[in-house]
Amino acid sequence: MKILGSLTNRIFLASAALAVMSIGAAVYFVSRTTTREAEAELQRGLIEAGALVDQQCATFLQTLTVMARLVADDPRLKAAVDTGDPPTVEPFARAYQEQLRAALIVLTGRNGHLLAEAGELDIAEGTIGMLPEVRHALTGTESSGFWPHADGVLQVMTVPITIGLDRPEIMGALTVGSRLDNNLAEIFKRATESDIVFAVDGQIRASTLPAADRARLVSLLKTSDVQTVSLENGEYVALKRPLGPAAAAMTGETAPSVLLLRSRTERLRFLEAINTGLGVVGMLAVLAATILSYAVARTITRPLATITNVMREMSATGDLTRKISLKHAAGSWEDEDAKLLASTFNTLTDSIARFQREAAQRERLSALGRMS
């Protein structure tokens, strides 16, 4: 190839290629390292937010339990429930709902029949006694669970209403429910700096994300590992956590769960500016390295080119006495090897010139001898 036929070109191309590969590798390494660290930090933050959600869910359930116990211990409520008369019990349900600001208060009798309710109950009255939370309470065991609701889902705590200390008699059951809806999801979002999704029975019940994303969010309920999902607003990193201590023992995508999501697109956006800056610096470095490589190549090959030109002229003219000037073009002969080569070449031409003079003298003497 003609482009590689010149020593200058070969030195220049080799130096430039080495510079480009070195700078490119450095830019790639820095970019990959910063991206990897940013993603690792994103996952660490998501796991920490998950631990905070676990704590908040536990506190939420504990508060619900304390409220239910306090209400169930009210002697007036016990007396009203003991009558088994719904009109007598109903005022207590409404009053406690207002005082506790609960989404739902449900009171059932000894046999599980509904005595009173205050709030929105999306369950048929005749099936209240068959719910596992109510059945457990009527056997003397507190129980929590999740009931369907038009706006999200209700987390409920059901406690027995008893009378007596040594051998308490179970008079009925009290259920206190609090709504897990979009408003609570927003509160959790502010606390965790993560988008929040509440899911029960494999369905998204409440979310801080647009409704259009719900179909894709369902696929995240299958595993508790950190996952990546593409949504309408970009790419997100997601983590599934149980929705409270009661849900921790349940597995599968139907288990009550809370999804925490953080935007990978937003968190890594600052890297775009860094990568752009690295690219610009890399291009400038490559340009500077290319210019420097060309200058180095020219510096190395200029003395050799001078010697080559003199030899070419000697071949063309037959003048074997030409010398290489070591005084012009300051800086051209700073390389010791090139300077030694030029000096040796000049010494050789001096020897050739001396040999030519001696040969001419011998020829003249020989001619004079023949003439005499």
Domains, the chain, ordered by start:
73-179 (3.30.450.20)
- Rounded to the nearest angstrom, the gap between the alpha carbon of residue 250 and the centroid of all alpha carbons in its chain is 29
pLDDT of residue 128: 84
Closest listed residue to residue 81, CA positions, set 114, 123, 128: 114
Cα–Cα distance list, 240 to 95, 194, 259, 300 (Å):
37, 12, 5, 65
To the nearest 10°, the Cα dihedral for 84, 87, 89, 91?
180
pLDDT of residue 87: 93
- Please identify every stretch of the chain with a pLDDT value under 50, giving residue numbers as ranges: 329-331
pLDDT of residue 248: 66
Q: What's this model's pTM, rounded to 2 decimal places?
A: 0.68
pLDDT of residue 330: 45
Closest listed residue to residue 56, CA positions, set 224, 151, 174, 180: 180
pLDDT of residue 316: 74
pLDDT of residue 105: 93
